[in-house]
Structure 1
Amino acid sequence: MSDRKEAPFAFEGLDRVLHEKARLGILTSLADYHEGLGFGELRDLCGLTDGNLSRHIQILEEAGLIDVTKGFEGRRPHTNCKLTAEGRRRFDDYLAVLEQVLLLARGDAVKVPGTNGKPA
């Protein structure tokens, strides 16, 4: 029953790496910043602690969704994070699945066989 037509509420496209609340916030924050954002900016935008943000950045980097560049601005350490091309593609795919979830929840997307044509 892995066919989406047979199981419209399986939501196979909801990528677990992206679906976690903090990581979704990080990716959403980075989506409009092609040059990336600094660690402090991400921390403030997402309301995360340094340690929590650091761990989620590590997970996203290991998954190939973001690039992390460490360097210095003057004498201060600076960490910059930006979406990779793969990260942008997976994020866009994830958003498309979320749009389908909304359509299904509103009854706009699929008719379920055996329900007299009522929306799913």
Structure 2
Amino acid sequence: MRIAYWIPIAVLALVLAGIGFRYGIIRQGITESDVITHYAQKYLADHAVSGAAGRAKLSDCVARPAKDAGFWTWLVVTCRPDGTAQDVGFRYQVNWLGGLIDVTRLGQTPPTTPQT
């Protein structure tokens, strides 16, 4: 068999190994505390822009592992001001690399499609 047929497969394997190594290095430096702190700071900015009730603080946020949120979701960070209803605040779904998957403003119903 010719070796030229195996060169594209070897190049593909090297590229995939490089991507895996890169994501491994990125993932190694991320802790749950770093992610929670980052999204708590994002919550402060989102809360200020939204004009929601209550006074936002970094300590308003809690995180839990995402069991039912999907395969790619690592943590769900929920933030709500003290003294407000349970359905007020923000929920951030975070992937394994610390990236934002989805943000939901609690207490708002999603827009419905118009009925004709």
TM range (shorter): under 0.3
Structure with higher helix content = 1
Structure with the bigger RCO (C-alpha within 8 Å, sep 6+) is 1
TM-score, normalised with respect to structure 1: 0.23
Larger radius of gyration: 2
Structure with higher strand content = 2
